[in-house]
Amino acid sequence: MVGYLFGLWAALTLNFLLPRLLPGDPLAALLDPDSAGYVYDSAVRESLEAYYGLDAPPVEQYLHYLAGLFTGDLGQSIRLKQPVAAVLGDHLPWTLLLTLTALGLASVIGIWSGAEAAWRRGSPMDKALTAAGVVIGNIPVFFTGMILLIIFGATLNWFPLSGGRTAFARYASAFDAVRDYAEHLFLPALTLTLALLSSKFLLVRGSMIGVLSEDFILVARAKGLPAGRIKHHHALRNALLPFVHHLAAHAGFALTGALFIEALFDYPGMGRLIFESVAARDYPVIQGAFVVVSVFVLSANRLADWLTMRLDPRIREG
């Protein structure tokens, strides 16, 4: 637990130090009428001055920054002229929807295919899946997305090309609403699922192969248990221990993939927010996004440890 708190503190401090220590003085440039980055809107400029407090001594700036974090004050977006916290709050649910959907799908498919491939180790199916896993796992996620977008969006017209929902749509029923959201979610989620799938498949397969060579599997077979029970009740149950850990720890990887995918599909989550903020040099938003993502990733790691501990009797008490 100490490790995570330390990590969190380090992330927040880094977030404070980076804009102040990196060459080019980017924050000062926002307030300098002679620089290209000068913020012309005086109301926004004043709120930035108040948030960063660049004239105050560094320690005071730091304490002010930390106090702001605890009250949810992450500064003001230059581009959107809104509090950063509110902007992030608008976008985060979309990213979570995309990430969690893809993680869920990739996990289910990865566990199933990994277990089957390990069970039939050396079979043509196993070899094909493993080779595909290595190749697909190495294709950059934005390229996979592009191909899917071209094929299913542009060419076949099966799914919308961009956005998280139809603009200005008024839904006749809840079903229509869900359908619209799902149609927009489909391609981004499929892309991310593919990106996440191969590592999950390979992990489950490898871990399952390891478990299958254990003595207790031999004993389970000797006990006359049916194949299905050995595969699922004993082998998979043990093989899933590292997987659960991997799954939560891999949340950061999933989120990273989601950022690219959202940029590509114009999906209204954190990725598109970062994408647009980068173009506008909207530092407060990017910093806020970094804080949110860091907290998310660190919490996921913590969750991973906790889950592993719950599921493995050996660690639970040791």
Stretch that binds other proteins, among 95-103, 104-112, 146-154, 178-186 (CB under 8 A): 146-154
184 Cα distance to chain centroid = 18
Residue 312 engages other proteins in binding (rule: CB under 8 A): yes
Kindly tell me which residue out of 83, 110, 153, 164 binds other proteins, with binding defined by CB under 8 A: 153
Which parts of 114-143 interact with other proteins (CB under 8 A)?
130, 133-135, 137-143
Q: Is 76 helix (H, G, I), strand (E, B) or coil?
A: strand
Q: How far apart are the first and last CA of the chain?
A: 16
Restricting to residues 170-199, name those near other proteins by CB under 8 A.
198-199
3 state SS of 78: coil
Distance, in Å, from the CA atom of 245 to the CA atom of 315, rounded to the nearest integer, reads 13
Contacts (CB under 8 A) with other proteins, residues 235-294: 237-238, 241-242, 245-246, 248-250, 252-253, 255-256, 259-260, 263-264, 274-275, 277-279, 281, 283, 286-287, 289-290, 293-294
Nearest of 89, 104, 189 to residue 145 by alpha carbon: 189
State the nearest-atom distance from the C-beta of 115 to other proteins, in Å.
15
Alpha helices in 120-250 (DSSP H): 124-138, 141-148, 174-212, 215-222, 227-229, 237-249
Q: How many residues of this chain bind other proteins (CB under 8 A)?
A: 98
Q: For 57, list phi and psi in degrees, rounded to 5.
A: -60, 150
The pair of structure tokens assigned to 78 is: 């230059």
The rounded distance, in Å, linking the Cα atoms of 109 and 200 is 9
Closer Cβ to other proteins, 94 or 142, answer by number: 142
Q: Which one, 185 or 262, has the nearer CB to other proteins?
A: 262
Applying the rule CB under 8 A, the residues between 212 and 231 that interact with other proteins are 214-216, 218-227, 229
